[in-house]
Amino acid sequence: MISPAPAAAGRRIRVMIVDDSAVVRGLIARVLHEDAEIELVASVDNGRTALASLERIPADVAILDIEMPEMDGLTAIPLLLRKQPGLRILMASTLTVRNAEIALKALALGAADYVPKPTAAREMLGATPFNQELLFKVRHLGGRPHSAAPHDAPPARHAARHAGSEIALRSLAPVPPQAIAFGSSTGGPQALFRVLRDAGPLRQPVFLTQHMPPTFTTLLAANIARDCAVAATEAVDGEIVTPGHVYVAPGNHHMVVTGAPPGPLSIGLNQEPPENFCRPAVDPMLRSLVAAYGPALLVVILTGMGHDGLEGCRAVAAAGGSVLAQDQASSVVWGMPGAVAQAGLCSAVLPIEQIGARVREIAGAKGPARRSIAANAR
């Protein structure tokens, strides 16, 4: 179970920087000092020193480099989380294929999110997209989501579940789904792997939008295919949609479908403006799927910050389709699933260990699942 965001109300978000470059540590520190609600409690040069620092001063968020001497980021993640359960780890490294592969491993080990570092120190100076994204993610991971979103956007709406509140649920669609869609962001890769493994092979086409930059989505699709034993690829513009295939929206492109059953459907990729500060975004994908499948659509919204997918799920509900959402306790950030849950758009709000079996049940999948339903029950 994922513990709630650690920062308590009434105090600042405590942040630790872990990077072997003194220059980079200094530049990131300058960015953090721009936000009065963030307190830099430690700035260290490797994972081993970070562990020693946590002994003295706890942190809410650790900004962790990948390659460092003595103890690198991958080695440090499980040790840091064991030392302080509930610590949010934000990986930061330059965007290369190798680093993207390592970052995906880091996310599987328990890192909460990733931010690509600029390739040159001068790019960190001033109000750059990196600075804005860094502050945005630190605030969300630290439990203070009401801040300006990246790229000078207005504040994003954030749904937070209040203790004891009840979520209004809708009935499932009376027709079986002909397509399944997933939307996710922060914490999404781990959640997706769990759900797709538990669901097993599905007969419907599966459309997946995870907020990630280009290189990452290519590797995400490959990892899903390998680890979940399903046919999964990064979507290609113009390709024909086939049953049982998982299509991953490429970084920096919105993914949509064109056509309608029983005729052939095809994938469309575009670089229209970001929606909800994201490209790819969940909402344009869902709008196109509603137009194609109507009520025969099942949507699953998993952990993620912000509210991307909310308006798309409104369209799904209006068309008579079904929406499932991950619950707060098992989400790294209950922004996206919380938004659709609190809007009364869901047929179920479930812990991550129950979602795959539920998808399998609704989808009418045949053959043995990779894990039994009983094994996933609490």
> Is 211 one of the catalytic residues?
yes
> Is 308 one of the catalytic residues?
yes
Asked if 337 and 349 count as a contact pair (C-beta separation under 8 A), the reply is yes
Residue in the block written with tokens 């330059």: 94
Residues in a beta bridge with 92? 115
26 CA to centre of own chain: 28
Measure the CA–CA gap between 357 and 373, rounded to whole angstroms: 6
Whole-number Cα distances in Å, 191 to 120, 180, 236, 366: 33, 16, 24, 22
Query: Residues 43, 53, 140, 211: which is the catalytic one?
Result: 211
Determine whether 234 is exposed, middle or buried from the number of CB atoms within 10 Å of its CB (0-12, 13-18, 19+): buried
Query: Residues 308, 327, 330, 347: which is the catalytic one?
Result: 308
Determine whether 233 is exposed, middle or buried from the number of CB atoms within 10 Å of its CB (0-12, 13-18, 19+): middle
Asked if 268 and 151 count as a contact pair (C-beta separation under 8 A), the reply is no
Asked if 326 and 181 count as a contact pair (C-beta separation under 8 A), the reply is no
Query: Residues 185, 288, 330, 347: which is the catalytic one?
Result: 185
Angle, alpha carbons 257-260-264 (nearest 5°): 80
SS3 201: coil
Catalytic residues: 185, 211, 308
